[in-house]
A and B are shown apart, each in its own frame.
Chain A
Amino acid sequence: MYPKKRPKYLNLFYLLQHMPMMAIVSIAHRVSGVLLFFSLPWLLYWFHLSLQGPDSYQQVLDWCDSIWFKGFALVFAWSLSHHFLAGIRYLLLDIDIGIEHKVAKQTAITVSISAVLIAGMIFLGTALL
């Protein structure tokens, strides 16, 4: 046995490059949760306006055409779909479904890609409307 080299330096950039997919899903679950929290007041405001009367209902629908709404929709769609899919993945992990390393890695990749695809589809949908 050769003596261990101390102190040991961990390169943060090396760690980031070699971060497992599960860790990325976990961090993105937090980030998307925080983004969803900050989108709540706007969503409540639109829900409020949409129920005030026919005119304000139409105004909310008209706002869907604005560039601001489309930007919001892109971020919100990613946040919600990632939080939703990753949340279901955690619920399944809690009851020991997909707990093996190989499967957990596959579901992590599936969740991340699906969330981006769903966000892209919703963004294109609102852009084409």
Chain B
Amino acid sequence: MQGLNAWLWQRLSGTYLAIFIFYLVFYILFNFPLSFSQWLAWVASPINRIAIGLFFLSLFFHAWIGGRDVILDYIHPPAWRFFSLVVLAISLLAMALWAMQILFWAYAVQGMIQWQ
């Protein structure tokens, strides 16, 4: 992802992140989940679990483009540059997988509770 593509995707993901964070702040301020079951039900509800999944994808993508720009600007020796880009990519991919696992877990637990 380079040039105009990266520039455009950084803005699209940033826009989605801003909208989602606005939504999340409203939820926390005006409808704070006082119990685990309320929180789980909110996260696992059909619209929110997709919105949160999209949020995480946008977030890690946004962090990849931004982090890559920072590394390319400040780390010049090729070996160090390559190493830091690899560390950035692997850590973001690992965190993205973790985030998806958390969401699937929440969906599964909510499903078990409703099934019982």
Chain A contact residues, CB within 8 Å of chain B: 30, 33-34, 36-37, 40-41, 44, 47-48, 50-54, 57-58, 80, 84, 87-88, 91, 94
Contacts and interface: CB of A to CB of B under 8 A. Distances in A.
How many chain B residues sit at the interface, stated as a range, is 20 to 34
B43 A33 contact: no
A30 B70 contact: yes
Given A44-B95, A48-B102, A80-B21, A54 B70 contact: no
Contacts of A37: 63, 66-67
Interface in B57-99: 59, 63, 66-67, 70, 95, 98-99
B14 interface: yes
A51 B70 contact: no
Interface of B: 11, 14-15, 18, 21, 35-37, 39-40, 43, 59, 63, 66-67, 70, 95, 98-99, 102, 105-106, 109
The 9 closest A-B pairs by CB, nearest first: A57-B36, A54-B36, A51-B106, A33-B66, A48-B102, A87-B14, A37-B63, A44-B98, A44-B95
Contacts of B95: 40-41, 44
Contacts, number: 51
Contacts of A48: 98, 102
Contacts of B98: 44, 48
A30 B66 CA distance: 8
Nearest to B73: A30
Contacts of A44: 95, 98-99, 102
- For the complex, would chain A's binding face be called helix, strand, loop or mixed by DSSP majority? helix
B97 to A, nearest CB: 11
B58 to A, nearest CB: 12
Given A40-B63, A57-B39, 20 more contacts: A33-B67, A33-B70, A34-B67, A37-B66, A40-B59, A40-B95, A47-B102, A48-B98, A50-B39, A51-B43, A51-B102, A51-B105, A51-B109, A53-B36, A54-B35, A57-B35, A58-B36, A87-B14, A87-B18, A88-B18
